[in-house]
Amino acid sequence: MITSDAFRGKRYVVLGLARSGMATVEALLASGADVTAWDRRPGPREALAARATIADPLEIQLAGFDGVVVSPGVPLNTHPIAERARAAGVPLIGDIELFAQARAGLPPHKVVGITGTNGKSTTTALIHHILQTAGVPTTMGGNIGLPILGQDPLPGGGVYVLELSSYQIDLTHTLDCDIAILLNITPDHLDRYENFEGYAASKARLLKMQSRDHLCIVSRDSPASFNIYQDLRDHRPRGNVLSTTQDDVADQSAWPTLKGPHNAENVAAAKAACKNLRLTDQQTERGLRSYPGLPHRMERIGEHIGVLFVNDSKATNPTATAPALAAFPRVHWIVGGLPKSDDLDECAPHFGHVVAAYTIGEAGPHFADILEPHMPVERCEMLCEATKRAIAAAKPGDTVLLSPACASFDQFRDYETRGDVFRKIVAKLTGQPAAAAELCEFSARSAA
């Protein structure tokens, strides 16, 4: 794990003891800090009872603590911990801020931070993979992979590659990335921000935390990110502000898992970062060719009687779903879940690729109303029923695509669980059709 003398003798509250919260507590304790920890679940509290103070931060005096460490999932705009911390004059921070404070004690290294609305997971994993194949010590963390404080420090010359959501950036104050990448910004998570401008400003803070001599790479492929690029260009040395666009990538034929305009944007940013990290073009190309892709992101999970099955469960908003619809000529589209928007406008240019839609979840009835003037729609509610009907209708050359354009929380714990359930349903229904009813029961239990 990553520890630091910067934490020794200090006092912290850690609210939320899931994976990153537990890693944070362990790192702070190992660094000699005094930790008060809390989770609404008794199990994690009991696991730490002998080594940390167990107390609800909403019920104790916060004055005198050096930080309140909260999970990115805690909504700062509505949760009472935010106001209590402000009133006590105690900073609200996350594990990324603790990592930033620990950097001075780590072997010489660089940090690449990636944010944006869509594509940041792929870009993070892609840069990490290219570095790995080139023999550079590297690890990835933040909003992907293992909690950063729970990982072993890299040796000298290593590169930490961090995917950073707006929630994580909101809890970070001193992370000076050697390279900061801003991809597209489109409406998302607006329940956490006053408006879209506030959401975009949260993303831009990653670049504003940088030293002037460090590099920022900004995509021109969305108006909001392009506006940020123009502002930075006016206030930073020109050589330290680069812009990229999907048009920078003309030929994707040699990269089997990086097809489509959205991946061209990701590749353009990754190539610019790797060049700055002094990798050769040959090293970068080797990584692009061998990149395996991410689970749940346009993941080809199999083919049966000429029908392709694609798990794109990570597409939790319409902007993320649009590239998947564009990528396949005849699509049986499973769509719905907990909606983040009231429309599917971003997907509309690709409705011509959809043979039929199968709506599920809370958004199902409304999405069905939107789609029925444009295509056949089957109202299914549950994922298993939608998959079963899509398989029955699909013909050789068609694609059955789970790309929900919605969050998963109405029926599943997270998008990974939703994608895993889809994978299991497809395997069962294509291998043992007689077991369809059993699988639908399994799907319903998973949704509960």
Position 420, amino acid: D
Catalytic residue among 120, 203, 332, 388: 120
Rounded to 5°, the CA angle 401-224-187 comes to: 45
Q: Is 263 a catalytic residue?
A: no
Catalytic residue among 189, 208, 259, 424: 189
- pLDDT recorded at residue 187: 83
Position 256, amino acid: P
pLDDT tens for each residue of 329-383: 999 999 999 998 899 999 999 999 999 999 999 999 999 999 999 999 999 999 9
Helix (H, G, I), strand (E, B) or coil at 429: helix
Tell me which residue of 258, 325, 287, 302 sits closest to 119, measured CA to CA: 258
Tell me which residue of 7, 17, 12 sits closest to 48, measured CA to CA: 17
pLDDT surpasses 90 at 229: yes
Give kind and range of the element (H or E) at residue 243: strand 241-244
Q: Are 323 and 260 in contact (CB under 8 A)?
A: yes
Q: Are 401 and 357 in contact (CB under 8 A)?
A: no
pLDDT surpasses 90 at 281: yes
DSSP annotation of 293: -
Q: Is 235 a catalytic residue?
A: no
pLDDT surpasses 80 at 291: yes
Rounded to 5°, the CA angle 338-119-157 comes to: 130
Burial class (CB in 10 A: 0-12, 13-18, 19+), 373: exposed
Q: What's the rounded mean pLDDT across residues 56-69?
A: 97
- pLDDT recorded at residue 262: 86
User: If you average pLDDT over every residue of the chain, what do you get?
Assistant: 93
pLDDT tens for each residue of 328-344: 999 999 999 999 889 99
pLDDT tens for each residue of 25-58: 999 999 999 999 999 999 999 999 999 999 999 9
The encoded tokens of residue 175 equal: 């992370």
Q: What's the rounded mean pLDDT across residues 196-208?
A: 95
Q: Are 219 and 265 in contact (CB under 8 A)?
A: yes
pLDDT surpasses 60 at 436: no
Contacts of 335 (CB under 8 A, 6+ apart): 321, 344, 357, 358, 359, 360, 363, 367, 371, 403, 404, 405, 406
pLDDT surpasses 90 at 447: no
Contacts of 82 (CB under 8 A, 6+ apart): 76, 92
pLDDT surpasses 70 at 444: no
Q: Is 275 a catalytic residue?
A: no
Q: Which long-range contacts (CB under 8 A, 24 or more apart) does 278-284 make?
A: 279/130, 279/131, 279/134, 279/136, 283/130, 283/133, 283/134, 284/130, 284/134
Indicate left, alpha or beta for 64 from its phi (over 0: left) and psi (-120 to 50: alpha): left
- pLDDT recorded at residue 123: 97
Catalytic residue among 110, 118, 128, 143: 143
Question: Tokens 């599917």 map to which residue?
Answer: 344
